[in-house]
Amino acid sequence: MPIKILIIAVLLLIGAIFMYKALKFRAMSKKAKQWPTTKGNITSCEVKEDILRSSTGSIVNVYYVEISYDYRVNGISFTGNRITFGSPHYDYQTASLIKERFDAGKAIDVYYDQKNPAESVLVPYSKHAMRSLVPGIFFLATGIVSLVFMLVFR
């Protein structure tokens, strides 16, 4: 019996962690849509390659855009490096299109947190960067169903 409880607790914990991470970025994104904007300037923008393991276990090349931009709020200079919330990875073509949009030297609108102007983002909402809710729902549902079966079919 104790091993079953431990397994259920682990399933619920994993589900809660996945849900927290997925919902955290969504909440930040929603909040950032209301932030004021200021003008900024892209200082650097590059496409970088990364290697990840896919959901099927194979190793895949993915690409992300590394950016740096300067902006001022109330006469104070800040440097930002976030295009959007989350950790977006793209195919090479999509990453290259994003790089073109934010090429070095371009003037841009920067969304910043009034309470903490060092916190900034260029695109407050993007579906590409959001973590899926599916893994969290899966682990939570599996843990809850297992708990119900354990309690009902003792």
pLDDT recorded at residue 44: 96
pLDDT recorded at residue 8: 87
Same domain, 16 and 64: no
Report the mean per-residue pLDDT for the chain. 88
Spans of the chain, pLDDT less than 70: 1, 55, 126-131
Contact 84, 71 (CB under 8 A): no
Same domain, 94 and 134: no
Same domain, 40 and 27: no
Q: Is the pTM of this model over 0.85?
A: no
> What domain range includes position 144?
1-33+130-154
Same domain, 76 and 108: yes
Same domain, 21 and 55: no
Same domain, 119 and 55: yes
2-30 pLDDT per residue, tens: 888 888 889 899 999 988 888 888 888 88
Same domain, 98 and 26: no
Same domain, 13 and 83: no
Same domain, 153 and 107: no
Q: Could you give the number of structural domains in the chain?
A: 2
Same domain, 100 and 144: no
Same domain, 19 and 68: no
Contact 117, 73 (CB under 8 A): yes
Phi/psi of residue 50, nearest 5 degrees: -140, 160
End-to-end Cα distance, the chain: 9
Question: Which CATH number characterizes residue 94's domain?
Answer: 2.40.50
Angle between helices 134-152 and 2-32 (to 10 degrees): 150
